Structure 1
Amino acid sequence: MNNASSVKICKASVITADVSVESIAFHRGCYAVDVTFYFDISLEAYTCGSTIPSRVNGLAIYGKRSVLYGSESNSKSFSSDSCIVCSQPVTSCGCTEFLPNATVQISEPMALSARLIKGSVPQLPCAPIPECVITYFGDDFAVTGDASVSATIGIFTITQLERNVQIMIPSYDFCIPRKECKPESDDPCEVFSRVDFPNESFFPPNARPEEREKCNFECGCNG
């Protein structure tokens, strides 16, 4: 990288992310979600005397803070399929914090651009790099040299705060019929005897139904 005259970004991928949640003072129910993303940046480094670029991979770190409303809860939840996790200690106000869970989703990064910065010594972040990130690259990071790369990538993220809630769903017992239904008769004559005589078929009305309801024969209404 020290002999490179220019660089070109090829690809960016997400390695992992570190997510933490903490409450915000004087804002009850609001929490700050701090996310640190670790990216694998693939570059092509060009030297002055060579037209064939060299492929170089490096680490890019980006941090983001989001403030979300996560409500409050005074109950604790434990599960048999999770590890033992101790609750937060009692704060100075005498109450115990029940923090919600934070979930962060990130899209595939878009590699936009990269530029070589001469005279800039790369520096490792103040926070320790996760062990899985070091294992991903397979070796310790080289921090010697007089050049660094500034990469620009585009990402889309969704940050959520989650809590376990109870949902009341009404349930009903299985209903057993208590009254025995009598079977209908199979005699066609008996079935026909229960049919009302169709008077309207033989005596059509002289007026429309709405007019017939208003008709009063005692007042001289001619049908």
Structure 2
Amino acid sequence: MPEKVVPGPISEDRSIREAVCIHTRKIFDSCRDKDCVEDLRVYPTRCSQEVIDRAQSIKAGTAELLYAYIDVEPITFNRGFYTVDVRYFYRITADAFVGAARPVQVCGLAVFCKRAVLFGSESGSKSFTSEGGENQVQCVPQSNLPTAVVEAVDPLILNLKLVDVCECRPCDCGCVDIPMAVAACFGDELVTGGDQHRVFVTLGQFSIIRMERDTQLLIPAYDYCIPTKDCSCDNDRCQEDPCDLFRQVQFPVDEFFPPNTITTTSSASSNVCGSCCR
């Protein structure tokens, strides 16, 4: 009986069953980046701004990536290439120290914009499916743009500082076009002016941007993918002793002892990027 084919490297003794044409998204171009975004202005909530105006110092907390807005536009002088404009929205938390009292947690919004240029090929076709129904007219653009996908993790706070309004840079303008879903994450009005103290944050952001387009590919097929896991739950398995299950769990050594080495991530950057305020 031949060896069962599983996903992974293919040896020479495994024969291809048939060639299959599938419809999927092909990645035409991609890039990775490690951005050090300096001095992003933080727009606090109304309650947080009242605390910041009375604060003597501030300590960094956490940064959470809430949303990334993506816009794709073709480059007229370079066929097949597109600009990908990404706007990241972050929730920044910090501890503000007012006098000798315990620190008060404050939060606000920070925005970072960057641009990448990637190859996405060309296609003049329009796609229609039967899922919309005859009563629903599908509005499609004249040119079939590729799809830009951005993968990013929560950034690292590298620095956080508290400054007087008179010390702010001339280009420090108000933040506009905040999506309603992002503003709703704070539960309070965001302050963009009329403040005495302002907070600026420096973030470290890791991201991957790729350009995808729907296409048909011819791939080798070996057999149908049949599930091997049993869905049934007999009495013996469902009533198994919980202590026996616990004994099968491996001891979490890493939770008790720090690692001897730390794995770092290297990246090559070739994108055009910048802060929200140039």
TM-score bracket, normalised by the shorter chain, equals 0.5 to 0.7
Between Structure 1 and Structure 2, how many residues are aligned? Answer: 162
Cα deviation, 1:24-59, whole Å, max 9, x if unaligned, reads 121000000000000000011112x22411100010
For 1:32, the equivalent position in structure 2 comes to: 83
| Shift, 1:123, TM fit | 4.7
- Counterparts of 1:1-223 in structure 2, within 5 Å, are 1-47=52-98, 49-79=99-129, 86-88=139-141, 96-119=142-165, 123-126=173-176, 128-143=177-192, 144-168=194-218
**Matched residue SS, 1:28:** coil
| Shift, 1:20, TM fit | 0.7
For the residues of structure 2 that align with 1:79 and 1:63, how far apart are their CA atoms?
A: 35
Q: Given the two structures, how large is their TM-score scaled by the length of structure 1?
A: 0.66
For the residues of structure 2 that align with 1:138 and 1:81, how far apart are their CA atoms?
A: 38
Q: Given the two structures, how large is their TM-score scaled by the length of structure 2?
A: 0.54
CA shift in 2, pair 1:20/1:148, >3 Å: same
Q: Which runs of 4+ in 1 moved over 6 A?
A: none
- Is the 1:114–1:149 Cα contact (8 Å) retained in structure 2? yes
CA shift in 2, pair 1:169/1:141, >3 Å: closer
**Matched residue SS, 1:26:** coil
For the residues of structure 2 that align with 1:12 and 1:115, how far apart are their CA atoms?
A: 14
Sequence identity (%): 37
| Shift, 1:108, TM fit | 2.2
For the residues of structure 1 that align with 2:201 and 2:83, how far apart are their CA atoms?
A: 27
**Matched residue SS, 2:216:** coil
CA shift in 2, pair 1:41/1:170, >3 Å: closer
Structure 1 gaps of 5+ residues are: 89-95, 172-223
CA shift in 2, pair 1:111/1:170, >3 Å: closer
Higher strand share: 2
- Is the 1:35–1:63 Cα contact (8 Å) retained in structure 2? yes
For the residues of structure 2 that align with 1:27 and 1:102, how far apart are their CA atoms?
A: 18
CA shift in 2, pair 1:79/1:54, >3 Å: farther
Letter in 1 for 2:64: S
| Shift, 1:146, TM fit | 1.7
**Matched residue SS, 1:168:** strand
Structure with the bigger RCO (C-alpha within 8 Å, sep 6+) is 2
Letter in 2 for 1:34: D
Structure 2 gaps of 5+ residues are: 1-51, 222-278
| Higher Cα Rg, which structure | 1
- Is the 1:8–1:113 Cα contact (8 Å) retained in structure 2? no
